[in-house]
Amino acid sequence: MDSATGNLNYTVQSSPVVDPLSSTNHIHNWPIFSFPSRPALRITTEFDSESAIFFNKISCKILDSLAKFKLSFHNNSKGDVSEPQISFVSKHLSLHYDLEDHSALVKSSIDVGPRVKLTGVHDVKAQQGEVTMVANVADPGYTLQLSTALPPAGLPKATFKFPLGEVSLQEREEEEQVKNLLSVSGILKGQFLKGVCTAHYNDDELKLRYRYKDDEMSFLPTLSLPSNALSFAFKRRFGLSDKLSGGDALIQI
């Protein structure tokens, strides 16, 4: 007490403040939403209303997701199963086995370098296959592809692909001639009047095709030379459930 003023002086000891976010407060932060991880086994089924057939597929990842095992088959409304096939698919090797035909198809691929890739396909039952080398010549979209059949039956097929199309050279057998000839084929594409114009040349025949498509209409005329045969297909949509379509109309010019 102060003798002059008669006032009392008190000293109050404040209690320590505990930080609720400090490390001493053992509270676990759980996520608000938790999404389940992808199941190891996936089953998908699609139904085709026109053929009344179910397309079924069962797949699962194995070897720590380095490969995938698949089982696919078709069945109708009566339960009859058709085209059963099992597959083992990985990055560089895949095996497809047909349970009805008892045939196996082996596919493999390997990167030889940063721009060269080798792929191979072998039919075990037919004892036939194909080896293909794909070289990325220039970016973007310029590649050179060489493919040969196994066992070899002539010169390899050469295909040069570019952004607007491709050109192929392949040996062709002529029944009337003893010598084999080189067959030239090619595809050229380009934009024209809000559509895509395609020129396809193969075995002395040229097909000019134009395709126009929007939200309401699609139109596809095709002109074959030198036969001068003109065919076209079209489709017109009037609503969600109303549409008019036609095709394969052939006109000889």
pLDDT at 4: 42
Query: For the segment 186-239, what is each residue's pLDDT rounded down to a tens digit?
Result: 899 888 878 889 998 887 888 999 988 887 778 888 888 888 888 878 777 666
31-35, 83-87, 163-167, 172-176, range with the lowest pLDDT: 31-35
25-39, 65-79, 181-195 — which one is most confidently predicted on average?
Answer: 65-79
Question: Looking at residues 44-48, what average pLDDT do you find?
Answer: 88
> Per-residue pLDDT averaged across 49-61, rounded?
88
Mean pLDDT of 35-49: 75
> Strand 128-138 relative to strand 165-172: parallel, antiparallel, unpaired?
unpaired
Q: Bigger pLDDT: 77 or 93?
A: 93
Mean pLDDT of 103-109: 95
| Position 10 pLDDT exceeds 80 | no
With a cut of 50, say whether residue 1 has pLDDT above it: no
At 78, is the pLDDT very low, low, confident or very high (cuts 50, 70, 90)? confident
Q: Is the pLDDT of residue 14 over 50?
A: no
In three-state form (DSSP H/G/I as H, E/B as E, the rest C), the secondary structure along the chain is: CCCCCCCCCCCCCCCCCCCCCCCCCCCCCCCCCCCCCCCCEEEEEEEECCCCEEEEEEEEEECCCCEEEEEEEEEECCCCEEEEEEEEEECCEEEEEECCCCEEEEEEEEECCCCEEEEEEEECCCCEEEEEEEEEEECCCEEEEEEEEECCCCCCEEEEEECCEEEEEEEECCCCCCCCEEEEEEEEEEEECCEEEEEEEECCEEEEEEEEECCCEEEEEEEEECCCEEEEEEEEECCCCCEEEEEEEEEEC
- Quick one: pLDDT at residue 181? 72
Record the pTM. 0.56
Name residues whose C-beta falls within 8 Å of residue 235's C-beta, 6 or more positions apart in sequence.
Answer: 217, 218, 243, 244, 245, 246
> Of 191, 132, 121, nearest to 163 (Cα)?
191
Closest by alpha carbon to 41, among 26, 64, 23, 58?
58
